[in-house]
Structure formats: C-alpha cells, structure tokens
Amino acid sequence: MSSQLKLTDITKKFEANTVNEKVALDHLNLTVEPGQFVTVLGSNGSGKSTMFNVILGSLFPDEGKVYLGDKDITKLKDYKRALNIGCLYQNPLRGTAPNLTIEENLALAYTRKASPSFFALNKKDSAYFREVLSTLGMGLEDRMKTKIGLLSGGQRQRVAIGRAIVRNPAVFLMDEPLSNLDAKLRNQMRAEIIKLRQRINTTFVYVTHDQTEAMTLGDRIVIMRDGFIQQIGTPQEVFNHPANLFVAGFIGTPQMNFFDAKLDKDADGYYVELDGARVHLPEEKQQALRANNVEPQDITLGIRPEHIMLCSDDAAAHIS
C-alpha cells in the first residue's frame, strides 16, 4: 500500500515568549507522490521536526491542510493516523515498548492493536516475524523473546524497521533515525533503509540534517530554511541548478565559491567578467539569457571547487 501525502499552505507558530512568536513553518506546500522517497534537509531549527509532527498528527497546524491519499487528515488524532503511518525516530526507544519483547513489539505493529493482551500469536505469525528479522541482520531472529529495552541502539532501530515492514504503512516517516548511531553503524543502517524501500511499497518522508543521507536516499530533496522550503528537486537538480544562493552554498562539500562578477554581452554574445577575464557562456545559457532579454548587470558567480583545475597557460591566479 502506498499513498500520496499532501501538505497545503501549512503554517505552524510557537510562542517563543509572551511577546514574540516563532513561525516554525510558513505557508508550506509539499506533495509526495505514492511510492516516492522524499528527504527533508535543513540545519537545526529549520522546521523539519515540526513538519514531521504535523504529518504524524502529534502537532496540529495553525493553518493549512494535511491529506493522505484523498482523505483530509488535518484534524485526525495521532493514534488514529498511526494505523497508516510508520515511524522511525532519532531515539529508537520512542515508538517501541521497552518492556515488551521483540516478538511482542512486532505483533503490536502487525495486528495494529494497543496491547499484547489483545492478541494471540500463532505459529504462522511467529515464523513470519522470524523471517523478517533474519533479513535485518544481527541475529535478532534468535532473540525474539528478548525485551527491547535490553538491546543496543542499532539493534533497536532494526526492530523498529521490522515493525514498519510488518505494519506495511501507507506512509513511512523518519526523523533523523541514524543520528544517534556511530559512523559505521550509520552506514550499515543507511543500506538497510535502502533495502527497506525496495521491500515495502510505501511513500517515504525522511528528515535529516546530513546532506550525504539526503542526497543518497532521496528521489527528491526538500531543502528547508527558517520554516520555508527553499527548493524541491532531485539530488542532481539541487546540485546542478540551485534555486538560490542559499541552496548553492548549502549543497556540496567543500562549499561552492562565490565571486562578485559582471554579466555583459558583446558581438559574440553574453559573457561573464571576473577580474578582467572574460568567459563567454555556453550556447544553452546564451539562449536562455537572450530569450529573457537580460540586461548587463552585477552578478554572483558560483564555482564549485571540483570544477577548478590547474592548466598549463600562465593564467594569473592565487590560492588563499
């Protein structure tokens, strides 16, 4: 099962103090198509978790609507939404029951019941859980009777992934699920999430401040800053065609270099002038500028470090 997720004109404010209010999300619009994997990338405080919680239903927006498929779920309580939404949180204990065993945790997700006393596990279910766990590594299938609270962070996140597999939700939300793990485990878990995606047909929203995660996992990346979406695009689009200076500087490590330059034209067409050196633009860019009849002007020229190379001509340059 996989559904479209749509946020329209979502605004969410918090009271920062009695006088000021903080706009955490500012008229945010986002459509995630069924089966798509969208990553939401932004630095601390950009509004990612607020957006996550608005989708989850643990926060209600001040304005705007949330749709799952063609259903308006804006006013639906979180525990009702949870039937169709799978979650992985930064803290692997959140959303799992530490005093219940691995098997019971999977059973809760599988049966969509609130308490293990409401279900009786049969052999077929147990065998299914074993099989799911065996694909997640770390020998969890042999520890079905172990309480979740006794597991390591990496093991718990795997159980949480197992819960999502058996639940088969319409949308799967993840809020920085790997940021509590060490670097090695993080890479392994990233691979697990890619496998999870191949395994369950669902719509993913993955929140992160880590651009490598965002670029490698996402079909599309939503770049956030101060509660605003700066750009939505494929990893290639946001890298090659940043919508603004913020995205240009934010995506790519090391960062893009910026220079004050001039855009002008002569008989051969548009060129960029930097420190007296003229570079005529490729035909594709010429056409776009001609079509919009762009006037000569001061511009910011962005050059990625990997596009700078040493050449044999005695061009003047210095490295600082």
Contacts with ligand ADP, residue ranges (CB under 6 A): 14, 22, 24, 42, 44-50
Q: Which is nearer to Mg ion, 41 or 140 (CB)?
A: 41
Cβ 224 to ligand ADP, closest distance in Å? 7
The binder of 259, among Mg ion, ligand ADP, none, by C-beta within 5 to 8 A per type, is: none
Stretch that binds Mg ion, among 44-52, 158-166, 228-236, 297-305 (CB under 5 A): 44-52
Q: Which is nearer to ligand ADP, 44 or 297 (CB)?
A: 44
Q: Which is nearer to ligand ADP, 102 or 207 (CB)?
A: 207
Contact 129, 144 (CB under 8 A): yes
The binder of 34, among ligand ADP, Mg ion, none, by C-beta within 5 to 8 A per type, is: none
Question: Look-up: residue for tokens 């599309």?
Answer: 220
Stretch that binds Mg ion, among 46-54, 122-130, 220-228, 265-273 (CB under 5 A): 46-54
Question: C-alpha angle 270/271/273, rounded to 5°?
Answer: 150
Q: Which is nearer to ligand ADP, 46 or 230 (CB)?
A: 46
Strands 85-88, 71-72: pairing kind? unpaired
Beta bridge partners of 266: 269
What is d(CA 196, CA 219) in angstroms, rounded to the nearest whole number?
15
Alpha helices (H) in the chain, listed in sequence order: 48-56, 78-81, 102-111, 123-134, 153-167, 183-199, 211-217, 235-240, 245-250, 283-291
Stretch that binds Mg ion, among 42-50, 165-173, 218-226, 294-302 (CB under 5 A): 42-50
Of 2, 39, 46, 49, which one interacts with Mg ion (CB under 5 A)? 49
Please give the full DSSP string across 159-189, using - where no structure is assigned. Answer: HHHHHHHHH--SEEEEESTTTTS-HHHHHHH
Residues 6+ apart with CB under 8 A from 181: 153, 154, 157, 189
Indicate the Cα dihedral angle 24, 66, 229, 305, nearest 10°: 120
Contact 209, 45 (CB under 8 A): no
The binder of 118, among Mg ion, ligand ADP, none, by C-beta within 5 to 8 A per type, is: none
Q: Is 3 in the site for Mg ion (CB under 5 A)?
A: no
Q: Is 231 in the site for Mg ion (CB under 5 A)?
A: no
Q: Which is nearer to ligand ADP, 250 or 270 (CB)?
A: 250
The binder of 14, among ligand ADP, Mg ion, none, by C-beta within 5 to 8 A per type, is: ligand ADP
Cβ 23 to ligand ADP, closest distance in Å? 8
Q: Which is nearer to ligand ADP, 23 or 93 (CB)?
A: 23
The site for Mg ion (CB under 5 A) is made up of 48-49
